[in-house]
């Protein structure tokens, strides 16, 4: 499985961006796609994940109500719609996925649960 993230860029505070993560090489049957971010000088942190087959979603508190994760199964593509962006959202955003059996809602906030990773896409939010 290969993941290709895109959609990053420079946006003013309060603006919006939509990131995409295109998967190729194998379809997702019962798996999870997640987004993580890493700001300069900080550790990587969980942003959101979606259970691919069922559409269940889970968000970090810091983005809840502002970001929306979704997927288009026909296109094997996941999305992260980011609204009301803040300067503290500035980071490299990476998508990740796993085809392992779903273990439960709390596991997928941990990057170690993911098998496949895409390259990051930089999001810069200016104040």
Model confidence pLDDT, tens digit, residues 15-37: 999 999 999 886 666 589 999 99
Say if residue 41's pLDDT is above 70.
Answer: yes
Query: What pLDDT, on a 0 to 100 scale, did the predictor assign at position 25?
Result: 80
3-14, pLDDT tens digit by residue? 999 999 999 999
The number of C-alpha atoms within 13 Å of 104 and in the hemisphere containing its C-beta is 2
Query: What pLDDT score does 104 carry?
Result: 86
Query: Residue 127, class by beta-carbon neighbours within 10 Å (0-12 exposed, 13-18 middle, 19+ buried)?
Result: exposed
Tokens coding 102: 């779903």
What pLDDT, in 10s, does the model give residues 65-117?
A: 999 999 999 999 999 999 999 999 999 999 999 988 888 888 999 999 999 99
Spatial neighbors of 65 by CB under 8 A, at least 6 apart, are: none
Q: What is the mean pLDDT of residues 52-65?
A: 95
């Amino acid at each position: 499985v290969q993941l290709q993230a895109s959609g990053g860029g420079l946006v003013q505070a309060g603006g919006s961006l939509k990131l995409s993560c295109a998967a190729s090489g194998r379809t997702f049957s019962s798996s999870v796609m997640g987004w993580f971010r890493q700001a300069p000088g900080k550790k990587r942190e969980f942003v959101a994940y979606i259970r691919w087959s069922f559409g269940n979603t889970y968000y970090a508190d810091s983005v809840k109500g502002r970001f929306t994760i979704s997927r288009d199964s026909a296109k094997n593509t996941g999305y992260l719609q980011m609204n009301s962006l803040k300067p503290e959202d500035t980071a490299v955003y990476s998508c990740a996925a796993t085809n392992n059996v779903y273990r439960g809602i709390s596991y997928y906030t941990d990057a170690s649960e993911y098998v496949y990773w895409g390259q990051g896409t930089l999001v810069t939010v200016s104040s």
